Structure 1
Amino acid sequence: MRLFTTGVQRRLPPGTAATLGERVRRFFADSPAIGDNLEASPRVLVGAIPFDRDEDDCLFLPGHAANRAWSHPAQTSSSAGSPRITAEPSREAYQDTVARALASMRASGAEASRVEKVVLSRSLRLEADAPFDPFALFRDLKADPSAARFLVPLGAGKGGAMRRLVGASPELLISKRGRAILSHPLAGSARRSPDLSQDEAAAQALLTSDKDLREHALVVEAIMDALAPYCRELRAPPVPALVSTRTMWHLGTRIEGLVHRPDEVSAAELAALLHPTPAVCGAPRDRAAEMIRELEAYDRGFYAGAMGWTNAAGDGAWHVSLRCAEICGAEARLYAGAGIVEGSDPAAEADETSGKFQAVLRALGMDETSL
């Protein structure tokens, strides 16, 4: 579904993931429909959920909603000259962090709180002499038709400039339409190659990789377990399939189901229930999140959170906020992560993050293959 909105009528009172379902129900109960024009009087909340479940989300009722794009006089290029790039952390420091995580996971042995997987990210900070154009970046990300593009306002940032989250996510967290729900998690990745034979070899190696299959199975199991109490039917194929973007191969599994009481649960509530999955956090979730706070030297903000919409009927769709940049004036911050499990190689995980950076870097007219 294509959804384009303009303006803000009301903001959903911000809160944590645990309270999102109840806040959405209360919001729509207190906001009766006005007239019959759904574009001018939309009954839909749009916005983003941060990575940290205990941080405030950012959702709002738009002034107008439509399935066609708004008109915006974007710059010729989304890039603002030749930005200065600072890796936070550097590739070498990231590899060291992965090694520390693996050592910590091994040291925990068979403890009940043992972390089986943790997703560690790194960031690139881009500073330019002129503001970045988020609308042009959104336009240029259409080169990857397999991903869901998004541009979400996050409120005023440094210097009063609007913060916006812009990206093209390949991963569906949850969608709901009536009784039917769908989740399509991705976990286990390999960088693509312009050489066709090498690209095919990378795809086939991913399909048979014990490390990546174990990493993927943790994600599917967690999502199935979380959704099962809400569903009268829930199914997933026994093995994952290959999913491709312009820069990466992924293992993906389509999880489909029918909920018991579709009128009592919204897409936003289900998104908050699942988020963050082991695909972007780890397993078990709370212990992995604690390790991320210990090892990553920055706040992820809305990266690896979720962005999407939910309407008054409870339908909606939420994608994981990946392959994205947070833009505020002349500064942009990009993020990429990799799932760390027993058998992970620090250099290979760093290379995976470099591949994931390419989606946004190429849209910005950059191709830093050494990152």
Structure 2
Amino acid sequence: MVGAMSATPYPAPVPPSGASAGTPTAAPEAQHLVVRTVRIDSLPGGPTALVDLLPDARPLTWVRRGDGIVGWGEALRLDTFGPGRFADADAAWRALLARAVVRDEVRLPGTGPVAFGTFAFDDGPTGDAFDDERPQGTLVVPRVVVGRRGTVTWMTTTSVGPTLDAPGDAALAAAHRVPVTSPGRVTLVDGAVGSVDWPGVVAEAVDRIRSGALEKVVLARDVVATTEHPLDPRFLLGRLAEGYPSCWTFSVAGMVGATPELLVRSEKGLVTSRVLAGTIRREPGMTDDDSLLHAAQLARSSKDLEEHEFAVRSVADALEPFCSSMNVPDAPFVLHLPNVMHLASDVTGVLDPASRSGSLTLAAALHPSAAVCGTPTVAARDLIREIEGMDRARYAGPVGWVGADGDGEWGIALRSAELGDDPHHLRLFAGCGIVAASDPAAELAESEAKLVPMRWALGAD
């Protein structure tokens, strides 16, 4: 029998701030969650151990270096719309927690009630395909979550109503795992804006920047993939977790990818944001010496350093009102990934208790940062809407998870793909930061480099 220990949600709800209220699948106040977390037997080592547990083709995933959480089944889904999508999701999540009965025998970040989430980049039209009836924010509460943090492994089971599914190893043993299948042959074609035309879009942005209209804008393009066989997202997740272990491999509500960029982590009063801006391609067959030379070139690039400075400044300015102290690095380091290198900075802070802010509030304050939108934010977003020519949907929006205490981890949905209703089609995305010194041809090449992870995960190379 589940112990009658009520959840202890984070402090008083923040009222929804948007014009459109959140519209959960069922009103949160009418739901009664029963949640139990227990330790389970240790999992095998390796970066794919959690992903390998996923029983079907509707996975929920947040994994890095073999640690993290995965989930399946859907106890509850909360959908929100418009400018208030973050605040409405936050308020709906708090309302659920206020009525939850929780027994957490592990008490680590990611245990107890957990919701996986994904949010749209924009709250307004961004292309011809924009659908104002499509949810722009989604939280999914899984029926089963399995997590690992260091040497501790756990399972959380969640039910709606007075009964609880079998906890622990019994529930894991009962999960019937459908075999993962390959997508077969994959073909790729240009998306909303062709690769021949995209440099012209970049050139237009450079002209606007040089005219003084703004300092930086991030432009993205999409590529449409068609698979021979229906796509099983677990095929992508296993390859991404194995090939890009230093990234956060994610899957939530049709967004799948491996992001190197952490928008915000909130954990026990500490706040962290990893900022990436400034990129150089790693060519196939590069030696260690070649990699060091490329890293040195990136670290000295005035164009990339300028782009990075804009991004770091925007994150620091957004976090400052919530923190009692902050550490903003004076200079970036070079992050080495299999396909590219990035200039990176880890901005950290101590959360001011008076702010009473959870990770969703912090994500809302940070999004969109200069790393995915530009500077100034409003001018950059307006230019994206005007010239980018496609609907970003949830590309470059926050993706991650939130727990009962409001803590959580939110990445940016980069190096990603959007899965639609047709299991044979998906959209791959890549974006580049444009400043006055940007060269359109070089930006196209950079976008191709950023498409490599998803192309490789599909087996399309």
Worse-matched range after superposition: 194-203 or 329-338: 194-203
Aligned counterpart in structure 2 of residue 3 of structure 1, from 56, 69, 79: 69
TM-aligned CA deviation for residue 19 of structure 1? 4.9
Residue 100 of structure 2 is aligned to residue 33 of structure 1:
yes
Equivalent in the alignment of 1:185:
275
My pick for the range that moved more, 264-273 or 188-197, is: 188-197
Match of 2:249 among 139, 149, 156: 149
2:221 paired with 1:115: no
Q: For 1:263 and 1:30, how far apart are their aligned partners in 2?
A: 22
> Structure 1 residues 81, 267: CA separation in 2 closer, same or farther (over 3 Å shift)?
same
For residues 177-233 of structure 1, what are the alpha-carbon distances to aligned partners after superposition, in whole Å with 9 as ceiling and x for unaligned?
111000011000000122224332221111000011010001111111111111101
Consecutive unaligned residues of structure 1, counting only runs of 5 or more, are 154-163
Q: Distance in 2 between matches of 1:334 and 1:72?
A: 27
TM-score, normalised to structure 2, is: 0.72
For 1:187, the aligned partner's letter is A
**Alpha-carbon separation, structure 1, partners of 2:299 and 2:176:** 42
Report the AA paired with residue 378 of structure 2: D
Distance in 1 (alpha carbons) for counterparts of 2:120 and 2:192: 20
Residue in 2 that maps onto 1:157? none
The equivalent residue for 1:195 is: 286
2:443 to 349, 357, 367: 349
Q: Which has the higher helix share?
A: 1
Name the residue aligned to 1:252: 344
Tell which structure's C-alpha radius of gyration is larger: 2
Alpha-carbon deviation of 1:349? Answer: 0.6
Q: Give the letter for the 2:272 counterpart.
A: L
CA distance in 2, matches of 1:177, 1:20: 19
Alpha-carbon distance, 1:308 to partner: 0.6
Maintained 8 Å contact 1:18/1:273: no
SS in 2 for 1:309: strand
Distance 1:211 1:18 in 2: 35
> How large is the RMSD of aligned CA atoms in angstroms?
2.2
Change beyond 3 A, Cα 1:245–1:14: same
1:312 pairs with 2:392: no
Question: Matches of 1:19 and 1:38 in 2, distance apart?
Answer: 32
Give distance in 1, aligned partners of 2:380 and 2:457.
Answer: 32
Is residue 268 from structure 1 mapped to residue 334 from structure 2 by the alignment?
A: no
* Between 252-261 and 47-56, the greater mean CA deviation after superposition: 47-56
Closer, same or farther: CA 298–246 of 1 in aligned 2, 3 Å? same
Equivalent position of 1:295 in the other structure: 387
Larger relative contact order (C-alpha < 8 A, sep ≥ 6)? Answer: 1
Distance 1:104 1:128 in 2: 39
- Matched residue, 1:160: none
Runs of 4+ in structure 1 deviating by more than 6 angstroms, as ranges, are none
Aligned residue number for residue 156 of structure 2 = none
Taking the aligned partners of 1:38 and 1:288, their CA distance within structure 2 comes to 47
Question: What is the correspondence of 1:83-94 to structure 2 with a 5 Å cutoff?
Answer: 83-94=187-198
SS of match in other structure, 2:143 = strand
Give the conservation status (yes or no) of the 8 Å contact 2:112–2:404. no
TM-fit CA distance, 1:259? 0.9
Aligned AA for 2:207? A
Distance 1:243 1:71 in 2: 39
Distance in 2, matches of 1:52 and 1:117, equals: 17
Which residue, 362, 366, 371 being the options, matches 2:460? Answer: 366
> Residues 120 and 42 of structure 1: is their aligned pair in 2 closer, same or farther, counting only changes over 3 Å?
same
**CA–CA distance in 1 between the matches of 2:92 and 2:426?**
35
How far apart are the structure 2 equivalents of 1:26 and 1:364?
36
Q: Is the 8 A contact 1:38 1:65 kept in 2?
A: no
Given the alignment, which residue of 101, 105, 112 partners 2:209? 105
Aligned mates of 2:93, 2:280 — CA distance in 1:
42
Describe the shift of the 1:356–1:38 C-alpha distance in structure 2 as closer, same or farther (beyond 3 A): farther
Cross-structure match for 1:73:
178
Distance 1:18 1:239, change over 3 A: farther
> Identity percentage over the alignment?
33
Shift of 1:175: 0.3
Number of corresponding residues: 350
Q: What runs of 5+ residues in structure 2 fail to find an aligned partner?
A: 1-66, 125-134, 149-171
Q: 2:300 aligns with which of 186, 204, 208?
A: 208
Structure 2 residue identity aligned to 1:51 = F
In structure 1, what is the Cα distance between the partners aligned to 2:219 and 2:116? 28
User: Could you tell me which residue of structure 1 aligns to residue 224 of structure 2?
Assistant: 125
- Letter of the 2:197 partner, please give it: A
Residues 22 and 151 of structure 1: is their aligned pair in 2 closer, same or farther, counting only changes over 3 Å?
closer
Q: 1:181·1:258 contact (CA, 8 Å) conserved in 2?
A: yes
Change in Cα spacing, 1:359 to 1:84, as seen in structure 2 (3 Å) is closer
Report the Cα distance in structure 2 between the residues aligned to 1:251 and 1:18, rounded to whole angstroms. Answer: 32
Tell me the distance in 2 between the aligned counterparts of 1:325 and 1:148.
14
Q: Secondary structure at the match of 1:206?
A: helix
Give the Cα separation in 1 of the matches to 2:295 and 2:397. Answer: 27
Q: Is the 8 A contact 2:89 2:137 kept in 1?
A: no
Q: Residues 6-63 of structure 1: CA distance to partner in whole angstroms, max 9, x if unpaired?
A: 2222222413454523541453234322241589x94222110111145721112222
Scaled by the length of structure 1, what TM-score is found?
A: 0.88
Task: Tell whether the 8 Å contact from 1:323 to 1:359 is kept in structure 2 after alignment.
Answer: yes
- Residue 333 of structure 1 aligns with which residue? 427
Q: Distance in 2 between matches of 1:253 and 1:319?
A: 15
Contact 1:42 1:61 in 2 (8 A): no
Aligned to 1:161: none
